[in-house]
Amino acid sequence: MDTEPQFFETNATPGVVGQPLSRVDGWAKVTGQAKYSAEYNRLPGLVHAVLKTSDVAKGRVVSIDASAAQRQPGVLGIFTHENLPKLARSPNSPEEKAALNSPMSFFPMQSDRIEYAGQPVAIVVADTLERAQYAASLLKVTISPEAPVASYLDPKATRFVPKVVKGVPGVTKRGEAQAAFASAPVQLTATYHHATNHHNPMEPGATIAHWEAADRLTVYDTTQAITWTQKTLSQMLGLKIEQVHVISKFLGGGFGCKAWVWPHVALAPLVARAVGRPVKLVLTRPQMFTGMGHREDQEQTLRLGATREGKLLALVHEKTSTTSPWDDYAESNHKILDMLYALPAFESTYHLAHANVMTSTSTRAPGEMPGSFAIECSMDDLAAQLNLDPIQVRLLNHADKDPATGHPWSSKSLKQCYQRGAELFGWNKRNPKAGQTREGRMLVGWGMATASYPVHSGKGNARVRLYADGRAVVQAGATDLGTGTYTINTQVAADALGIAPENVRFELGDSNLPTTTVSGGSMAAGTVSSSVYLAAQDVWRQLIKVAVADKKSPLYRAKPADVVMEKGRLQLKADPGKGEAFGELMKRAGLGDVEGSAIGRYGSNYEESLATSEQAPEHAMHAFGAHFCEVHVDPELGTVRVTRWVSVVAGGRILNPKTARSQVMGGSIFGIGAALMEQTVRDSNLARYTNADLAGYHVPVNADIPNMTVEFIDEHDPYVNAMGAKGIGEISVVGVTAAVSNAVFHATGRRLRSLPMTPDKVL
Residue nearer to ligand MOS on the CB measure, 224 or 553: 224
CB under 8 Å to 42, separation ≥6 — which residues? Answer: none
Using alpha carbons, select from 218, 207, 220, 210 the residue that is nearest to residue 275: 210
Integer Cα distance of 45 and 276 in angstroms: 9
Integer Cα distance of 148 and 385 in angstroms: 43
x-or-dash pattern for ligand MOS, window 471-510, by CB under 6 A? ----------------------------------------
Q: Which stretch binds ligand MOS (CB under 6 A): 133-141, 316-324, 358-366, 444-452?
A: 358-366
Integer Cα distance of 231 and 270 in angstroms: 16
Using alpha carbons, select from 542, 549, 550 the residue that is nearest to residue 1: 542
Q: Which stretch binds ligand MOS (CB under 6 A): 53-61, 62-70, 299-307, 361-369?
A: 361-369
Asked if residue 756 has a cis previous peptide bond (ω within 30° of 0), the answer is yes
Residue nearer to ligand MOS on the CB measure, 305 or 520: 520
Residues 335, 364, 459, 619: which binds ligand MOS (CB under 6 A)?
A: 364
Integer Cα distance of 266 and 235 in angstroms: 11
x-or-dash pattern for ligand MOS, window 518-547, by CB under 6 A? --xx--------------------------
The helix (H) or strand (E) run that includes residue 63 is strand 59-65
Residue nearer to ligand MOS on the CB measure, 138 or 481: 481
The one catalytic residue in 115, 299, 318, 730 is: 730
Count Cα atoms within 13 angstroms, Cβ side, for 134. Answer: 13
Q: How far is the CB of 262 from ligand MOS (least distance, A)?
A: 14
Residue nearer to ligand MOS on the CB measure, 363 or 485: 363
| Cα–Cα separations (whole angstroms), residue 539 to 8, 464, 498 | 18, 8, 12
Burial class from Cβ neighbours inside 10 Å (0-12, 13-18, 19+) for residue 697 reads: buried
Using alpha carbons, select from 61, 512, 84 the residue that is nearest to residue 266: 84
Residue nearer to ligand MOS on the CB measure, 305 or 454: 454
Asked if 516 and 46 touch (Cβ cutoff 8 Å), the reply is no
Q: How far is the CB of 360 from ligand MOS (least distance, A)?
A: 11
Q: Kindly report the number of other CB atoms within 10 A of residue 590's CB atom.
A: 7
Q: How far is the CB of 676 from ligand MOS (least distance, A)?
A: 21
Q: How far is the CB of 422 from ligand MOS (least distance, A)?
A: 30
Strand 75-80: give its sheet, edge to edge.
Answer: 75-80, 120-126, 47-53, 279-282, 206-213, 216-221, 244-247
Residue nearer to ligand MOS on the CB measure, 369 or 499: 369
| Bridge partners, residue 80, by sequence | 122
x-or-dash pattern for ligand MOS, window 184-223, by CB under 6 A? ----------------------------------------
Q: What angle do CA 574, 575, 576 make, to 5 degrees?
A: 110
Asked if 630 and 743 touch (Cβ cutoff 8 Å), the reply is yes
**Is 366 a residue that touches ligand MOS (CB under 6 A)?**
yes
Q: Which stretch binds ligand MOS (CB under 6 A): 168-176, 212-220, 356-364, 493-501?
A: 356-364
What is the 3 state secondary structure string of 411-434? CCCHHHHHHHHHHHHCHHHCCCCC
| Cα–Cα separations (whole angstroms), residue 249 to 263, 459, 659 | 21, 20, 18
Integer Cα distance of 382 and 397 in angstroms: 12
Q: How far is the CB of 258 from ligand MOS (least distance, A)?
A: 7
Q: How far is the CB of 480 from ligand MOS (least distance, A)?
A: 13
Asked if 147 and 683 touch (Cβ cutoff 8 Å), the reply is no
CB under 8 Å to 697, separation ≥6 — which residues? Answer: 198, 200, 289, 678, 679, 680, 691
Residue nearest to ligand MOS (CB): 256
In one-letter notation, the amino acid at residue 245 is: H
Q: How far is the CB of 476 from ligand MOS (least distance, A)?
A: 18
Q: How far is the CB of 249 from ligand MOS (least distance, A)?
A: 18
Residue nearer to ligand MOS on the CB measure, 498 or 521: 521
Q: What's the full length of the chain, in residues?
A: 763
CB under 8 Å to 319, separation ≥6 — which residues? Answer: 298, 299, 300, 330, 333, 334, 348, 349, 350, 351
Residues 251-310 that bind ligand MOS (CB under 6 A): 254, 256, 259
Q: How far is the CB of 292 from ligand MOS (least distance, A)?
A: 12
Q: Are strands 186-194 and 754-755 parallel, antiparallel or unpaired?
A: parallel
Q: How far is the CB of 362 from ligand MOS (least distance, A)?
A: 4
Phi, psi of 633 (to 5 degrees): -110, 125
Q: How far is the CB of 364 from ligand MOS (least distance, A)?
A: 5
Residue nearer to ligand MOS on the CB measure, 119 or 363: 363
Dihedral of the alpha carbons of 718, 720, 724, 728, in degrees to the nearest 10: -150
Q: Kindly report the number of other CB atoms within 10 A of residue 239's CB atom.
A: 17
Q: How far is the CB of 729 from ligand MOS (least distance, A)?
A: 7
Q: How far is the CB of 370 from ligand MOS (least distance, A)?
A: 13
Residues 73-102 that bind ligand MOS (CB under 6 A): none
Integer Cα distance of 560 and 548 in angstroms: 7
The helix (H) or strand (E) run that includes residue 298 is strand 298-306
Active site includes 309?
no
Longest dimension (CA), the chain: 85
Asked if 497 and 470 touch (Cβ cutoff 8 Å), the reply is no
Residue nearer to ligand MOS on the CB measure, 364 or 420: 364
Q: Which stretch binds ligand MOS (CB under 6 A): 201-209, 357-365, 548-556, 566-574?
A: 357-365
Residue nearer to ligand MOS on the CB measure, 120 or 454: 454
Residue nearer to ligand MOS on the CB measure, 259 or 448: 259
Residues 151, 224, 461, 647: which binds ligand MOS (CB under 6 A)?
A: 224
| Site size with ligand MOS, rule: CB under 6 A | 10
Residues 3, 197, 322, 363: which binds ligand MOS (CB under 6 A)?
A: 363
Residue nearer to ligand MOS on the CB measure, 461 or 732: 732
Q: Which stretch binds ligand MOS (CB under 6 A): 44-52, 107-115, 362-370, 587-595?
A: 362-370
Using alpha carbons, select from 302, 364, 251 the residue that is nearest to residue 673: 364
For the four alpha carbons of 520, 525, 528 and 534, in that order, the dihedral sign comes to negative
Residue nearer to ligand MOS on the CB measure, 514 or 521: 521
Q: Which residues are near ligand MOS by CB under 6 A?
A: 224, 254, 256, 259, 362-364, 366, 520-521
Catalytic residues: 730
